[in-house]
Amino acid sequence: MRDNFVREKLKRGEAVFGTFVFEFATTGIGRIIGASGADFVLYDLEHTAWSLETVRMLAATTRDVVPVVRVPTGDYHFIARALDAGAMGIMVPMVETAEQARQIVAATRYPPAGRRGAAFGVAHDDYRTGDLRTKMRHANDHTLVVLQIETEPGVDNVDQIAAVPGVDVLWIGQYDLNNFLGIPGEFDHPKYHACAERVVQAIKRHRIAGGFLASSVAHGRSLLQQGFRMIAYGGDIWLYQDALRSGLEALRSAV
């Protein structure tokens, strides 16, 4: 079973860097990302049409980087199946209460710490035999739990959510948060900044990590200065599109 070095780094107060994958579900994408020096890759099930079979393939072909899966909701069957398929962490969108957070954490932990169902000798433990107690302890200690704060109730309850044992990262979903605040796309709006600051203060108080999707290097640096320590640098669609657009514009300008 693999150690989750991303969770270990975050527990030590270090920063980790990765990216999102929404489109390029290939057998090479996880290896490409790992070879690029990323710490983690977030495979998205919330906004794609991928199945668990796709996630299983992606997790199996990811190397040198921690595979995390964003599930559509915090329901047990999404969380447990993603983990059994080989994900080393899960991200759950639109978490609004401490009770939700407790149920999500419980779905990622074997008894007595939680209620994750038993399946061994499968993808998540590399199809290996071994002592079941050891496997359960290892999984409980190495599964990363990332919860997204994306609504006003989530912000209002952020302190209680951050205090739930087993929560590793609170991640601001800036687009959804602004949409639900009634200010879509207005990332300089005082109301959005006030909500973001409440999340930042909660992660600092409870000594957990904050996560964010950085749109550029400059944006990522500003997030680090604010106290965020889990930074996703863009996603496959936008990184490819931006690089292609930049190259094509440079070539056209030479004509």
**pLDDT tens digit at each of 255 positions of the chain:** 889 999 999 999 999 999 999 999 999 999 999 999 999 999 999 999 999 999 999 999 999 999 999 999 999 999 999 999 999 999 999 999 999 999 999 999 999 999 999 999 999 999 999 999 999 999 999 999 999 999 999 999 999 999 999 999 999 999 999 999 999 999 999 999 999 999 999 999 999 999 999 999 999 999 999 999 999 999 999 999 999 999 999 999 999
Cα R_g (the chain), whole angstroms = 18
Q: How far apart are CA 173 and CA 188, in angstroms?
A: 15
Smallest Cα–Cα separation from 104: which of 161, 158, 54?
Answer: 161
Q: How far apart are CA 125 and CA 14, in angstroms?
A: 26
> How many CA atoms lie within 13 Å of 53's alpha carbon, on the beta-carbon side?
1
Q: Where are the domains of the chain?
A: 5-253
Instruction: Indicate the fold that domain 5-253 takes in CATH.
Output: TIM Barrel (3.20.20)
Q: Does the active-site annotation cover 47?
A: yes
Q: How far apart are CA 98 and CA 103, in angstroms?
A: 9
Smallest Cα–Cα separation from 199: which of 180, 177, 214?
Answer: 177
Q: What is the DSSP letter of 50?
A: -
Q: Is the overall model pTM greater than 0.85, yes or no?
A: yes
Judge whether 88 and 69 are in contact, CB under 8 Å.
no
Output phi, psi for 172, to 5 deg. Answer: -80, 120
Judge whether 200 and 171 are in contact, CB under 8 Å.
no
Q: How far apart are CA 250 and CA 156, in angstroms?
A: 47
Q: How far apart are CA 197 and CA 20, in angstroms?
A: 24
Point out the catalytic residue in the list 47, 124, 138, 142.
47
The angle subtended at Cα 220 by Cα 173 and Cα 159, nearest 5°, is: 45
Q: Tell me the angle at which helices 76-84 and 52-60 cross, rounded to the nearest 10 degrees.
A: 30
